[in-house]
């Protein structure tokens, strides 16, 4: 069974790709994406949008399997794979993904709404060379608090990219603490923009009644109590309650739940 993703970032052939079972991350990058653009070296790959995970060259030979990659904070999320080359400053990348949480999250959960907002503010200060070690420590601690207290999977996983980047690319963070970043100084390209370009209020998760088996797994896993139905009959999603955390979509064994774009 093939998985459809949007491949974007510093690759030769960005666009929608279909990933066959058994493919590795390296094959996705080289065979589907045509390799790194402009002859630059690979630095990292982010999978799943604001609540996804960041992987480095050490993980490129892992299979593109969400169960395997979940140990690294990866989830399907918004279905976007973002490739980053050697010249991308990871402080800037983390800031872009944290900023996305402010536009893609529902805002119902206080810990997520306020916690991610403050994390984004601290990361902006770090990006502008106005933060110190204590500020970075506070940003990481806030991520842990949000992970433990957030309402849905989006909030609980919102700090995965920050956590992975700070551990794998500590030099980028230290450069911003020290007040000078060679990567930011020579970067002339537009910054990486997370997501698929579709506004939050134009996305809906829907259940295909032809594919739904009525197993109720989606309803039992929905923290927002947005899914209802009877066993062995198609379930439905109440769009007024759905927070679009993608948890139901990831858990459905029948591929019955998909994301659609609607008029804003």
pLDDT, mean of residues 142-158: 90
Structure tokens at 74: 């990866």
170 and 231, same domain (yes or no):
no
Task: Provide the CATH number for the domain around residue 256.
Answer: 3.30.70.20
pLDDT band at 78 (very low <50, low <70, confident <90, very high): confident
Task: Provide the CATH number for the domain around residue 139.
Answer: 1.20.1440.230
16 and 79, same domain (yes or no):
yes
Structure tokens at 56: 């480095």
Structure tokens at 118: 């403050």
Position 192 in a domain? no
Phi and psi at 222, nearest 5°, equal -80, 110
Token pair 């400053």 is at which residue? 89
- The pairing of strands 3-9 and 15-19 is antiparallel
72 and 109, same domain (yes or no):
no
55 and 94, same domain (yes or no):
no
The residue from 161, 186, 211 where one domain ends is: 186
Q: Domain of residue 234: give its range.
A: 200-261
3-state secondary structure of 192: coil
- pTM, rounded to two decimals: 0.90
Q: Where are the alpha helices (DSSP H) in the chain?
A: 25-27, 66-69, 90-104, 110-127, 133-149, 153-156, 160-168, 170-178, 182-186, 217-221, 247-251
Query: CA–CA separation, 198 vs 45, rounded Å?
Result: 21
Position 191 in a domain? no
CA 171 vs. chain centroid, Å, equals: 23
Cβ-contact 232, 213 below 8 angstroms: yes
The residue from 156, 186, 216 where one domain ends is: 186
17 and 36, same domain (yes or no):
yes
Cβ-contact 207, 236 below 8 angstroms: yes
Distance set, CA 243 to CA 34, 50, 124, 152, 208 (Å): 35, 14, 26, 8, 19
Instruction: Inform me whether the pLDDT recorded for 116 exceeds 80.
Output: yes
116 and 173, same domain (yes or no):
yes
Q: What does the pLDDT look like over 19-54, one tens digit per residue?
A: 999 999 999 999 999 999 999 999 999 999 888 999
pLDDT, mean of residues 120-144: 97
160 and 104, same domain (yes or no):
yes
Position 195 in a domain? no
Position 122 in a domain? yes
Share above pLDDT 70 across residues of the chain, in percent, rounded to a whole number: 99
Position 141 in a domain? yes
* Spatial CA neighbour of 45 closest among 25, 65, 69: 25
The residue from 85, 102, 131 where one domain ends is: 85
Query: CA–CA separation, 145 vs 119, rounded Å?
Result: 11
122 and 34, same domain (yes or no):
no
Position 194 in a domain? no
26 and 81, same domain (yes or no):
yes
**Structure-model confidence comparison of residues 91 and 21, the more confident one:** 91
pLDDT, mean of residues 255-260: 92
From the CA atom positions of the chain, what is the Rg in Å? Answer: 19
Position 220 in a domain? yes
DSSP 36: B
98 and 176, same domain (yes or no):
yes
Which pLDDT score is estimated for 264?
Answer: 58
99 and 156, same domain (yes or no):
yes
81 and 33, same domain (yes or no):
yes
Token pair 């997370």 is at which residue? 194
Question: Domain count of the chain?
Answer: 3
Position 9 in a domain? yes
Which pLDDT score is estimated for 155?
Answer: 87
Query: CA–CA separation, 57 vs 25, rounded Å?
Result: 10
Structure tokens at 145: 């608090």
Count of all residues that appear for the chain in the document? 264
Task: Provide the CATH number for the domain around residue 46.
Answer: 3.10.20.600
Structure tokens at 24: 């590795």
Phi and psi at 263, nearest 5°, equal -65, 130
């Amino acid at each position: 069974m093939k998985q459809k993703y949007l491949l974007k970032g510093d690759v030769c052939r960005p666009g929608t790709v279909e990933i066959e079972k058994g493919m590795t991350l390296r094959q996705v990058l080289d065979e589907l994406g045509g390799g790194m653009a402009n002859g630059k070296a690979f630095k990292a790959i982010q999978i799943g949008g604001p609540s996804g995970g960041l992987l480095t060259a050490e993980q490129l030979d892992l299979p593109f399997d969400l169960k395997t990659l979940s140990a690294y904070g990866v989830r399907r999320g918004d279905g976007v794979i973002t490739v980053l080359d050697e010249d991308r400053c990871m402080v800037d990348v983390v800031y872009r993904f944290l900023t996305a949480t402010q536009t893609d999250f529902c805002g119902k959960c206080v810990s997520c709404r306020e916690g991610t907002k403050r994390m984004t503010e601290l990361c902006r200060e770090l990006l502008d060379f106005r933060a110190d070690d204590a500020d970075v420590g506070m940003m990481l601690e806030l991520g842990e608090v949000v992970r433990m207290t957030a309402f849905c999977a989006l909030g609980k996983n919102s700090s995965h990219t920050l956590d992975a980047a700070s551990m794998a690319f500590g030099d980028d963070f230290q450069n911003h603490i020290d007040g000078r970043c060679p990567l930011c100084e020579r970067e002339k390209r537009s910054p990486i923009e997370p997501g698929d370009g579709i506004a939050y209020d134009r996305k809906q998760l829907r259940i295909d009644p032809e594919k739904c088996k009525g197993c109720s797994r989606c309803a039992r896993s929905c923290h927002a109590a947005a899914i209802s139905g009877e066993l062995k009959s198609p379930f439905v999603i109440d769009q007024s309650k759905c927070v679009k955390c993608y948890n139901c979509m990831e858990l459905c064994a029948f591929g019955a739940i998909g994301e659609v774009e609607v008029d804003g």
